[in-house]
Structure 1
């Protein structure tokens, strides 16, 4: 079950990570990623905590005060070169650069490399794996349940049955759940705007950093 932090406990002390940055040793896994700041009450209703796999609609900007601790290690896992995927990738990179995140990228070369790419990402022992690209959903469904100690954020899609370590930031027009499962809304490439993708990355990372994992954040309020 995901861990819901109540408002009084949402303030998270910054953790200064020794030796973080581009030269950090990624060979050893670390505990849950840490955050600086707290989410507002409109992010998740503490009087009605979401169940695992639930979909919640955070108030716009309710995540804006949350930042990753300096040197947080993130792997951007990506596949495909379509415009929606490129927009998601740009949003992740801009977030990482702006927040001082230690970012590495793992790109699937082709369809046969999808599952190996997910494995390469987890083998790096990052604090968080952020996935961008619909082709990765089925491989993620295979891998994530066997790596419960690794946090994943899926942006612009979702897993049909996510485990507690998989959080998604999704919206109408971007809710692919895997081959044969369809989507909870019709796919619309135009819905992948820079503003919505950026908001989804920030809201999704805020959820993971504050321990609100295993849920779907619905991001329809951004154009």
Structure 2
């Protein structure tokens, strides 16, 4: 006749089973291999000219809302790379966080808090091997220009800023009033902090991600 488990031991066994089950099924296990991400939905008319796809480093002006039907697959892995506590950057960060929640994106955040951390934090973000790294904050533009060309297998999206000479893995989503390009070019004369509204920031992350998911990368999306 089998001996009955004492209550304390039975509870411990039950807890171990629960922990094992959670460990095997956690949605935060970024170490597991993943297939190439595919978009859910298609781009609408006016996003790009299907007979003349944008050339590298081109700037396109997609029709407003032409990206609305495109969504990342559930569990799409994104690292939000951010630097700066100014209101513009915080608006971008909030938009990315809200978008990730709405789209069931698996989001990790890497924040730069000191001037000597840029390359290290960017490398940290790359080492997480996300599907996409989203950059928010003008201070990241120049460091990203130095690093991204050496990591062509990693996709990047800059929202509210752009790299002057992007490689094929760097996409940007800008709008009138947001066009910082770094590389000593300084702030554009048309730069307008008040243009960083939640609606603009949300459109940037949605349109930018839709473009990357459909393979239109290394370009600038100019949102009107």
Evaluate the alpha carbon distance shift between residue 147 and residue 30 of structure 1 in structure 2; reply closer, same or farther with a 3 A threshold: farther
SS at match of 1:144: helix
**In the alignment, is residue 163 of structure 1 matched against residue 167 of structure 2?**
yes
1:176, distance to aligned residue in structure 2 (A): 0.9
CA gap of 1:202–1:85, structure 2 versus 1, over 3 A, is same
Larger Rg: 2
Shift of 1:23: 3.1
* Cα distance in 2 for residues equivalent to 1:21 and 1:159: 38
User: 5 Å matches for 1:134-173?
Assistant: 134-173=138-177
Q: Look up the match of 2:204.
A: 200
Query: What residue in structure 2 maps to residue 100 of structure 1?
Result: 104
Q: TM-score scaled by structure 2? A: 0.85
Task: Give the CA deviation at 1:127.
Answer: 0.4
Map 1:40-55 onto structure 2 (within 5 A).
40-55=44-59
Give me the whole-angstrom Cα distance separating, in 1, the residues matched to 2:24 and 2:211: 22
SS of 1:158's partner is coil
CA RMSD of aligned residues (A): 1.9
Contact 1:174–1:185, Cα closer than 8 Å, also in 2: no
State the alpha-carbon separation in 1 of the partners of residues 188 and 26 from structure 2.
Answer: 39
Q: CA deviation at 1:49?
A: 1.8
Which secondary structure does the structure 1 equivalent of 2:171 belong to? strand
Report deviation, 1:76.
Answer: 0.3
Q: Deviations over 1:174-216 (max 9, x none)?
A: 1111141235552110010111110111000000111111110
Greater Cα shift, 29-38 or 90-99? 29-38
SS at match of 2:210: helix
Measure how far apart 1:30 and its partner are: 4.5
Distance 1:184 1:47, change over 3 A: farther
Given that 2:54 and 2:216 are in contact with CA atoms closer than 8 Å, whether structure 1 keeps it comes out as no
Larger RCO (alpha carbons 8 Å, 6+ apart): 1
Say which is worse superposed, 83-92 or 22-31, in terms of deviation. 22-31
